[in-house]
Structure 1
Amino acid sequence: MNIAVLTIQFSLPGCASLKEKRQRMGGLHERFGRTPAIAVCESGHLDRLESSEWSFVVLATSPQKVESICSEIEDKLQRTVDGRVLEVSRELL
């Protein structure tokens, strides 16, 4: 089994409340948590309004599949989150 941890930090300029922050992040649990190969959680910046950090644990049978899933997650987040990606890190376990 191949495992990667993908951590993405977002900037949410102008975010004025935790409710707005949740709306702008657009239900990442619902979108990615349904896939059996992905576990997702908000892993940092929980108390900050203008930033957010999310971690995704990806499991697959090959390193290429893990990389492919991580790339799909990054691409989808770039298109759907009402914010700016500041940093992306991948750790293969």
Structure 2
Amino acid sequence: MNIGFLVLDFVAPFCNSLKDKRMIVRSLRDKLTKRFNVAFAEVGEQDKYQRILIALVTIANTPERVHEVLDQAQAFAEANAKGAELLSAEREML
């Protein structure tokens, strides 16, 4: 069993309230969990409305499959972040 997690740090300078931020986070959560069957959590920067820090976790039989899912999920999140810019992505395998 292989476990991988990915932490994505976005900046959304156009967000003027936590409500604006929640719209982006909720949209990403719904789309990523449905399309890639990953666990999703907002793991930091929850009180800052222009920063979004999320984590994705997946489990698979092979490390290659874990990397494939996380690669696809990262690309999808970048493309569907509604204008938020990806600052960093950190990945770890367990």
Q: TM-score, normalised by structure 2?
A: 0.89
Check whether the contact 1:26–1:81 (CA below 8 A) recurs between aligned residues: no
Distance, in Å, in 1 between the alignment partners of 2:24 and 2:40 is 17
More helix per residue: 2
% same residue = 27
Distance (Å, rounded) in 2 between the aligned partners of 1:47 and 1:87:
19
Alpha-carbon distance, 1:23 to partner: 1.7
Residue of structure 1 equivalent to 2:90:
89
Q: What's the counterpart of residue 3 of structure 1? A: 3
- In structure 1, stretches of 5+ residues that fail to align are none
What root-mean-square deviation, in Å, do the aligned CA atoms of Structure 1 and Structure 2 show?
1.6
SS at match of 2:14: coil
Which ranges of structure 2 fall in alignment gaps of 5 or more residues? Answer: none
Shift of 1:58: 1.0
Check whether the contact 2:28–2:81 (CA below 8 A) recurs between aligned residues.
no
**Runs of 4 or more above 4 Å deviation:** none
